[in-house]
Amino acid sequence: MSERRIRVLVAKPGLDGHDRGAKTVASVLRDHGMEVVYTGLHKTPAMIAEIAMQEDVDVVGLSILSGAHMELFPRVRKELVERGLDHVLMVGGGIIPGDDMQVLEEDGFAKLFGPGTNTDSIAEYIQTEISKRWAAEEAQA
Amino acid sequence: MTETKPISIPEGRQAWEAALEGGKLRDSEFTSLSGSTLEVVYGPEDAPGDPAKDLGWPGQFPFTRGVHPSMYRGRLWTMRQFAGFGTARETNERFKFLLDHGQTGLSVAFDFPTLMGRDGDDEMCRGEVGQVGVAISSLADMEQLFDGIPMNEVSTSMTINGPAPILLAFYIACAERRGLDPAVLQGTVQNDILKEYQAQHAWLVPPEPALRMITDVMEYCSEHVPKWNTISISGYHIREAGSTAAQELAFTLANGLEYVRRGIERGMDVDSFAPRLSFFFDSHLDFFEEIAKFRAARRIWARKMREEFGAKDPRSWKLRFHTQTAGVSLTAQQPENNIVRTAYEAMAAVLGGTQSLHTNSMDETLSLPTEKAVKIALRTQQIIAEETEVVHVADPLGGSYYVEALTDKMERDAQAYFDEIERRGGVVPSIDSGYFQKEIHDSALSYQRAVENGSKKVVGVNCYSEGEESLEIELHRIRPEVEAEAFKGLASLRADRNATRATAALDEIRTACNSKANLLQAFITAAHADCTLGEISQVLRDEFGDYIEPKIL
Amino acid sequence: MISWAENGNTRFPETLEAIWFQVGRARRMGITGPPGAGKSTLVNELARMIREEESTVGILAVDPSSPLSGGALLGDRIRMEDRTADSGVFIRSMASRGSHGGMARAAVDAMDVMDAFGMHDVLVETVGVGQAEYDVVAAADTVLVVLCPGAGDGVQAMKSGLLELADVIAINKCDLPGADRLTSDMQEAVHLRTAGRDRWASPVVQCSAGKHEGVDDVLAAIKSHREHLSDKLPDHRRKKRIQQVRQVVGEGLDEAIWKTGGYGEQVEAMLGSGITPYAAASRVTQIILKSAQENQSNEFEA
């Protein structure tokens, strides 16, 4: 029998084409044993939520360097909730000022990672959070 | 007094090696920033080239030592700070601020909607208008951007690629509306689409039609805007996306050679357009590696242009370049340290013989730069120019065994990449198969791993860090009204223009797409008819199709 | 539900039970070929054309897992991006994970789920590199093998047995040099295998999916294979299902014997007594068969 693996969607919302961070994080998460779906560039919030649903992911990670995070991140969140995916762990990264991080974290984002974040720590964070959730699910079942 | 007889170089080397043996070394891999192994010291045998053939003198083929005989004694580099945010009106004010503080050229940063060929009121652009650059959707916006700035005197650089021919059309049309002959315009449009597919990812249409538009620009400008640099062939974005120095050099030059091939295939004389090609490189933290990269770039280009393409005009042989310090080298942690990093990088660019320079501001990993940060960045250049006295001597590191050995290695590494690209069928097929993208990604990943395992150190990040720090620098934020203003501006533009004339101009573009007509000419006509960037781009997308990136992960 | 299948979750079989009456309507197509042949682009184009015929499409994109970490990077969607916004298309990426049989089963399960949820066409795409991937596409009604000049040359395809699976062969990127040569080589190979025999001669079709050319010919070839299959289809599918049952039985036995049956200790003891692994295996088999025969009569009466 197969074991359960963490499925992560790494997504690039908006028009910005800087994918160095997204691809690096995707590769690192793969190296930590996760199954990572990468969306490619230039996705709308609705597209990202639709992909998250079709791919049945446990985590959605958004990467943005265009400054449009305060517009796009909450919209992705809203689209996910509309599809009944509020249980999905939402994380994000990019050039995001501290104040904005705080606002987003109050708005349903589990955690935001700024420039210079150690990528292993992102993987560890996801592993810890998801195992908590799975343990809770099992306890319920 | 007895004269001490020196021991011979080979004997000395043996003795030195013996002395080295068993010595205690620090725990380090002693590699360049790009990961290549470095020797303890370099000697004559490491740089065995022929000075007459490989170096020459400044201003002489193959220009390893610089493109001008007097280098900075004749003229300093152009201090050109990239700027743009919010509306055309706000950026216009920042331009005037920079000119007042001694900047000598303008450089326009566009926002993502503009870079992707979309109008500010496009549904895809919510939240992005004016964020990372200025929003320019029409000739009217361009007029506002240059309001009160003498277009016949300043040189303007526009960093845009996919829709570059359209923005250039707005600029030319703007000058024409002021009654200026486009022949007086000086500046550069980046217009380097190949590296967009490879690294930066702001494209409009697939490679082949994009290359056709670029060739149209080269053709039109060689006749009508002769002082304009038609392509700024850019390694900057390749490097920032994670490549090594050698990859930056090789891929950039490979792209440059591809544009030259396209021009020649169009039937143009190589000397009619090659002198208007310029380059744009990154200057990263590995001081000597960067200087070697700049020197190798000049030598390779000169040789290829003269020997492979038969260019006869020495101006076609000269690789002139703009440099920007490495944005990726800056850290969000302890941001003031970025001033120091930028200063070293700027110094490398100057010692490498750059023609113009942008120094990054310390706060750019956090947001767009504030005026104070921009001013310090500009002052960094001025200190190099006025206080360090390095500017008096051309190619001051020429003849250094280390720098010459690195320069030779850069050239060899680049040639190996050229051969590999050739083997893969050329630049465009290598883009289609994701070759460049994969190479860049692999380098980025191995650098990231080196930082995380501590074999590469970053001050404030993996050493000398101060834990959770609260940021004490003020951030520049875009006014939330910018988007609404863009909506309003576009609505009134569309309402006020002559609709018949606009439609006719767009139809003309559609026809030109499917003929051999020059598209830049058609764009200028459309600019005068107040067609918007988004409208023109849509015609191109309809006619040429969209581009989808290859899968490389 | 597809995740349950992938994870071997026990809720999957019972849920499948509930929707089983709806399974069997979809046309199933397997697409494989060497890396870089342009499979995703072709799948995207095929999906677009099928959508134009008002059919819904389910796409299962299988990518290999990393043997080191067990993780995977699933990026096939990138090339199908213009289908993402279309509600008539459902795309699911799947990692091959460790066990070969496991992947093939999960892929078949995923196809069943898409079928049950009303997808008219189900396309499964794998990189043709190993037996496991072949098993996946072989579960489809029609197998399309995608080749292109240069990247994965024809000799390699023939050696790897890829061609024996193919019902339709698409030569993608047909504007590249070498395409005509590859096409005639493939035609030759098909001819050698089928001439004079009552077998389906796989058509070799040129296309350039990236340029939207020739994809209609590929679709037409797929349809003609379907017609050829029409009365044989139930039989064809039953054979695949027998394989599926065999596989699940095998896995179930494996689990029963080694995890719950306590045979592990017995084998350890046998090996301890100095007999060869083969002798031990033979004894275990005999014990199991004997116990099965003893139970057989009551099982079938019940």
Asked whether residue C128 is assigned to any structural domain, the reply reads yes
Asked whether residue C47 is assigned to any structural domain, the reply reads yes
Closest by CA position to A27, among listed A17, A38, A16: A38
Residue C44 scores a pLDDT above 70: yes
Higher pLDDT, C192 or B260: B260
Residue C253 and residue C167 share a domain: no
C-alpha angle C101/C104/C107, rounded to 5°? 145
| CA pair distance B175, B146, nearest whole angstrom | 10
Give the DSSP H/E element, type plus range, for residue B533. helix B533-544
Residue C195 and residue C51 share a domain: yes
Residue B471 scores a pLDDT above 60: no
Report, as an integer, the average pLDDT of C58-86.
Answer: 83
Question: Which chain C residues are Cβ-neighbours of B550 within 8 angstroms?
Answer: 78-79
Amino acid at B228: W
CA B161 to each of CA B190, B207, C171: distance values in angstroms, whole numbers, following the listed order: 6, 12, 34
Residue C203 and residue C266 share a domain: no
Are the beta carbons of B271 and B311 closer than 8 angstroms?
yes
Expressed as residue numbers, the domain containing C126 is 2-230
Q: For residue B473, what are the contacts with CB-CB under 8 A and spacing of at least 6?
A: B335, B336, B362, B363, B366, B370, B373
Tell me chain A's radius of gyration from C-alpha atoms.
14
Residue B86 scores a pLDDT above 80: yes
Cβ count within 10 A of residue B4: 6
Q: What is the pLDDT of residue C87?
A: 78
Residue pointed to by tokens 């030598």:
B299
Are the beta carbons of B277 and B260 closer than 8 angstroms?
yes
Asked whether residue C235 is assigned to any structural domain, the reply reads no
CA atoms within 13 A on the CB side of C121: 27
Q: What is the DSSP string of C144-181?
A: EEEEBTTTB-HHHHHHTTHHHH-SEEEE-STTSTTHHH
Q: What is the pLDDT of residue C58?
A: 93
Amino acid at B541: R
Residue C276 scores a pLDDT above 90: no
In this structure, what token pair is assigned to residue C2? 């597809």
Which chains, if any, share at least 3 CB pairs under 8 A with chain B? A, C
CA atoms within 13 A on the CB side of B387: 8
Number of residues in chain A: 141
Residue C261 and residue C204 share a domain: no
Q: Which residue, of C199, C230, C261, is where some domain finishes?
A: C230
Q: What is the pLDDT of residues B205-252, one digit of tens each?
A: 999 999 999 999 999 999 999 999 999 999 999 999 999 999 999 999
- Asked if the C-beta of A87 comes within 8 angstroms of chain C's C-beta atoms, the answer is no
Asked whether residue C67 is assigned to any structural domain, the reply reads yes
A24/chain B closest Cα distance in angstroms = 6
| CA pair distance B520, B509, nearest whole angstrom | 9
Average pLDDT along chain A: 91
Are the beta carbons of C244 and C108 closer than 8 angstroms?
yes
Distance of CA C64 to the CA centre of its chain: 13
Report, as an integer, the average pLDDT of A60-72.
Answer: 91
Q: Which residue, of C206, C230, C254, is where some domain finishes?
A: C230
Mark yes or no for CB contact C2/A29 under 8 Å. Answer: no
> What are the structural domains, with CATH classification, of chain A?
7-140 (3.40.50.280)
Residue A1 scores a pLDDT above 50: no
- CA-CA-CA-CA torsion for B43, B45, B46, B51, nearest 10 degrees? 100
Residue C153 scores a pLDDT above 60: no
Q: What is the pLDDT of residue C302?
A: 43
Amino acid at B119: D
Cβ count within 10 A of residue B350: 25
Are the beta carbons of B123 and B79 closer than 8 angstroms?
no
| CA pair distance B233, B502, nearest whole angstrom | 33
Using a CB–CB cut-off of 8 Å, the residues of B that contact C are 425, 432-433, 546, 548-553
Report, as an integer, the average pLDDT of A52-75.
Answer: 93
**Cis amide linkage into residue B62, ω under 30° from 0:** yes
Q: For residue C205, what are the contacts with CB-CB under 8 A and spacing of at least 6?
A: C168, C169, C170, C171, C214, C217, C218, C221
- Asked if the C-beta of C295 comes within 8 angstroms of chain A's C-beta atoms, the answer is no
Residue C160 and residue C70 share a domain: yes
3-state helix, strand, coil in chain C (%, to 5): 60, 15, 25
pTM: 0.88
Are the beta carbons of B509 and B157 closer than 8 angstroms?
no
Q: Which residue, of C173, C197, C230, is where some domain finishes?
A: C230
Residue C182 and residue C61 share a domain: yes
B455/chain A closest Cα distance in angstroms = 14
Chain A residue closest in CA terms to B438: A23
Asked whether residue C281 is assigned to any structural domain, the reply reads yes
Q: C207 exposed, middle or buried (CB, 10 Å; 0-12, 13-18, 19+)?
A: buried
B41-66 b/e (C-beta count within 10 Å ≥ 16 → b) = ebeeeebeeeeeebbbbbbbbbbbbb
- Asked if the C-beta of C82 comes within 8 angstroms of chain A's C-beta atoms, the answer is no
B224: helix, strand or coil: helix
- Asked if the C-beta of C172 comes within 8 angstroms of chain B's C-beta atoms, the answer is no
Residue C55 region by backbone torsions, left for phi larger than 0, else alpha for psi between -120 and 50, else beta: beta
B332/chain A closest Cα distance in angstroms = 6
Residue pointed to by tokens 């025969």:
C293
| CA pair distance B207, C199, nearest whole angstrom | 44
Q: What is the pLDDT of residues B109-168, one digit of tens each?
A: 999 999 999 999 998 898 899 888 899 999 999 999 999 999 999 989 999 999 999 999
CA atoms within 13 A on the CB side of B503: 3
Residue pointed to by tokens 């013989």:
B353
Closest by CA position to A114, among listed A99, A134, A135: A99
C-alpha angle C19/C25/C27, rounded to 5°? 130
CA atoms within 13 A on the CB side of C296: 7
In this structure, what token pair is assigned to residue B499? 């609709």
Asked whether residue C84 is assigned to any structural domain, the reply reads yes
Amino acid at C45: E
Domain count, chain C: 2
| CA pair distance C124, C110, nearest whole angstrom | 10
Residue C158 and residue C285 share a domain: no
Average pLDDT along chain B: 93
In this structure, what token pair is assigned to residue C18? 């509930």
Residue pointed to by tokens 């104040």:
A99
| CA pair distance B293, B408, nearest whole angstrom | 9
Q: C292 exposed, middle or buried (CB, 10 Å; 0-12, 13-18, 19+)?
A: exposed
| CA pair distance B526, B510, nearest whole angstrom | 11
Which CATH number describes the domain made up of B44-452?
3.20.20.240
C-alpha angle A85/A91/A95, rounded to 5°? 140
Mark yes or no for CB contact A18/B445 under 8 Å. Answer: no
Question: Which chain A residues are Cβ-neighbours of B552 within 8 angstroms?
Answer: 23
Mark yes or no for CB contact A38/B131 under 8 Å. Answer: no
In this structure, what token pair is assigned to residue B247? 């990859």
Closest by CA position to C84, among listed B492, B47, B444, A54: A54
C280: helix, strand or coil: helix
Q: What is the pLDDT of residues B2-14, one digit of tens each?
A: 778 888 888 999 9
Alpha-helical runs (H) found in B21-65: none
Are the beta carbons of B391 and B72 closer than 8 angstroms?
yes
Report, as an integer, the average pLDDT of B188-199.
Answer: 96
Residue C14 and residue C154 share a domain: yes
Residue C256 and residue C217 share a domain: no
Q: What is the pLDDT of residues A23-33, one digit of tens each?
A: 999 999 999 99
Select from A32, A35, A51 the Cβ nearest to the Cβ of C84: A51
Lowest mean pLDDT among A114-118, B49-53, B541-545: A114-118
Asked whether residue C236 is assigned to any structural domain, the reply reads no
Residue A54 scores a pLDDT above 50: yes
Asked whether residue C162 is assigned to any structural domain, the reply reads yes
Residue C261 scores a pLDDT above 80: no
Question: Angle, to 10 degrees, between the axis of helix B337-351 and the axis of helix B287-303?
Answer: 30
Which one-letter DSSP state was computed for residue B463?
A: B
| CA pair distance B295, A39, nearest whole angstrom | 40
Alpha-helical runs (H) found in A19-118: 20-31, 45-55, 69-82, 98-106
- Asked if the C-beta of C102 comes within 8 angstroms of chain A's C-beta atoms, the answer is yes
